[in-house]
């Protein structure tokens, strides 16, 4: 691992040699004795830390030291500049801190003290750079590599992505349709050492079975009737990159055998070819089915499952992601509005409620479609539940059991009639077709006190 770099700027050659002698085991060191040389060496070597004598000759010419400091900070805001000054230079040293210097040190040089100051400065610089790197993965709306949300479950997914991306271990992503499995696969690729190579997706269920083998492994010219030219398959296209099998459970059993051979040998043969071609790829697979159950049904090979299931990432459905659904909805509103050049519309309070209560069986993909629909159908600046196509009857009862739905209907109807008839139990019971005693029972069941609610 390379050493951190240190630039020593001091007009006294003895001090430069003293520091270089004392710190050369810990740092790669460059020295400069005057302003122009200091600036040139800073641009050439881009050092992590700089010790800068405030009084570069002629004596007491603080402005030269300030000039070097300003240029360094302008070029690299993360550079840590330690101003070195005499006993009477504290006021100028404080001014240097206001200009962006990290710290100051009063001569004479004590190498033990200086080592501590430099070590702390380097630690803070590395911390700031790492924070910048992490923040660059999130846009201003809290997006990580295309993945939106900040609920606990999604934070755990992102944490796992960062951990598994550093190795080449196989990853199996499980989640309902529309939860963003391909986004997670791309995020792993983007955080990996293979980021500069290809990311090749294969939708195992979208390609006709008769063409799938050719799509996966390619073919030679003349391999079959319509093979007029040689074709490079997707596995080979992913060489040195990442190969993503989406909905791997849909892969036909006969092709699972050939996939297993590739996973074992990391070599392929094109259809009609005899040459074994080595392929170096990172494997990521995804499924909305429980592969363990598919194995029991003999729809999926157990040996492939264990080769794909190095690490499993479980994606939560949208209905289990707390308030992420509103966050994502508003993000999509902004995104799609900008794409079509329209003014960004807002969700009404009723729309917010409907979005939160709706069960989202199609997950984020369905939410995207609903937002696009709303932008087309909305006639003013506000998005209403009707524009989204998730009115009350859909948003509340989707995904409920019959018992839960029945109780919800009873409670809503009772409240509605109590309001309508101003608490007249005779009229309420008659309109609902039940006895007064049933009304009392329902009120007790739902812990309702109409008079209190009214007041």
Q: What is the pLDDT of residues 119-137, one digit of tens each?
A: 988 888 887 776 566 555 5
- Find, among 252, 265, 266, 235, the residue nearest to 301 by Cα: 252
Q: What is the pLDDT of residues 167-222, one digit of tens each?
A: 999 999 999 999 999 999 999 999 999 988 999 999 887 787 778 888 888 888 87
Tell me the pLDDT band of 35, cut-offs 50, 70 and 90.
confident
The rounded Cα 71 to chain-centroid distance in angstroms is 35
Higher pLDDT, 374 or 90: 374
Q: How many Å apart are CA 28 and CA 23, to the nearest integer?
A: 9
Contacts of 115 (CB under 8 A, 6+ apart): 22, 23, 26
Tell me the pLDDT band of 139, cut-offs 50, 70 and 90.
very low
3-state secondary structure 8-48: EECCCHHHHHHHHHHHCCCCEEEEECCHHHHHHHHHHHCCC
Q: What is the pLDDT of residues 322-348, one digit of tens each?
A: 878 988 998 899 888 888 777 778 888
What residue has token string 């944490």? Answer: 159
What residue has token string 């008659």? Answer: 430
The predicted pLDDT at position 450 comes to 54
Q: What is the dihedral of CA 310, 146, 369, 172, to 10 degrees?
A: 0
Mean pLDDT of 15-43: 88
Q: How many Å apart are CA 169 and CA 166, to the nearest integer?
A: 9
As to burial, measured by CB atoms within 10 angstroms (0-12 exposed, 13-18 middle, 19+ buried), residue 1 is: exposed
Write down all domains in the chain, each with its CATH number in brackets. 5-135 (3.40.50.2300), 151-314 (3.40.50.300), 319-397 (1.10.8.60), 403-454 (1.10.10)
Q: How many Å apart are CA 247 and CA 176, to the nearest integer?
A: 10
The predicted pLDDT at position 394 comes to 43
Which of 51-55, 283-287, 366-370 is predicted least confidently?
Answer: 51-55
Q: Kind and range of the H or E element at 443?
A: helix 436-445
């Amino acid at each position: 691992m390379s050493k951190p770099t240190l630039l020593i700027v001091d007009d006294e050659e003895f001090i430069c040699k003293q520091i270089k002698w004392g710190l050369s085991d810990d740092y790669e060191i460059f020295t400069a004795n005057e302003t122009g040389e200091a600036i040139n060496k800073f641009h050439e070597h881009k050092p992590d830390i700089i010790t800068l004598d405030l009084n570069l000759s002629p004596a007491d010419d603080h402005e030269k030291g300030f000039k070097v400091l300003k240029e360094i900070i302008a070029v690299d805001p993360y550079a840590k500049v330690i101003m070195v000054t005499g006993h009477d230079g504290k006021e100028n040293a404080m001014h240097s801190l206001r200009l962006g210097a990290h710290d100051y040190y009063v001569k004479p040089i004590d190498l033990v003290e200086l080592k501590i100051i430099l070590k702390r400065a380097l630690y803070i610089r590395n911390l700031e750079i790492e924070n910048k790197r992490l923040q660059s993965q999130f846009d201003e709306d809290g997006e990580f590599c295309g993945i939106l949300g900040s609920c606990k479950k999604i934070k755990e997914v992102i944490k796992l992505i960062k951990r598994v991306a550093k190795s080449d271990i196989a990853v199996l992503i499980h989640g309902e349709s529309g939860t963003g499995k391909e986004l997670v696969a791309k995020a792993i690729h983007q955080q990996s050492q293979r980021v500069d190579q290809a990311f090749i997706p294969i939708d195992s269920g979208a390609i006709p079975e008769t063409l799938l083998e050719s799509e996966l492994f390619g073919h030679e010219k003349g391999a079959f009737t319509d093979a007029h030219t040689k074709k490079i398959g997707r596995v080979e296209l992913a060489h040195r990159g990442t190969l993503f099998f989406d909905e791997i459970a849909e892969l036909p059993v006969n092709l699972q055998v050939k996939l297993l051979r590739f996973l074992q040998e990391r070599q392929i043969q094109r259809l009609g070819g005899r040459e074994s071609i080595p392929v170096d790829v990172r494997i990521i697979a995804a499924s909305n089915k429980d592969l363990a159950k598919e194995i029991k049904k003999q729809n999926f090979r157990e040996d492939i499952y264990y080769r794909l299931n190095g690490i499993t990432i479980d994606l939560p459905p949208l209905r289990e992601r707390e308030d992420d659904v509103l966050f994502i909805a508003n993000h999509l509103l902004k995104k799609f509005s900008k794409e079509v050049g329209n003014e960004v519309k807002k969700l009404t309070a009723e729309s917010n409620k409907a979005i939160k209560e709706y069960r989202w069986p199609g997950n984020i993909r369905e939410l995207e479609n609903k937002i696009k629909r709303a932008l087309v159908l909305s006639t003013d600046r506000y998005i209403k539940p009707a524009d989204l196509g998730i009115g009350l009857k859909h948003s509340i009862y989707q995904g409920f059991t019959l018992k839960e739905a029945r109780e919800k209907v009873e409670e809503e109807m009772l409240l509605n009639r109590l309001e309508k008839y101003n608490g007249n139990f005779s009229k309420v019971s008659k309109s609902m077709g039940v006895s007064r005693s049933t009304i009392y029972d329902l009120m007790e069941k739902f812990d309702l006190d109409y008079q209190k609610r009214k007041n």
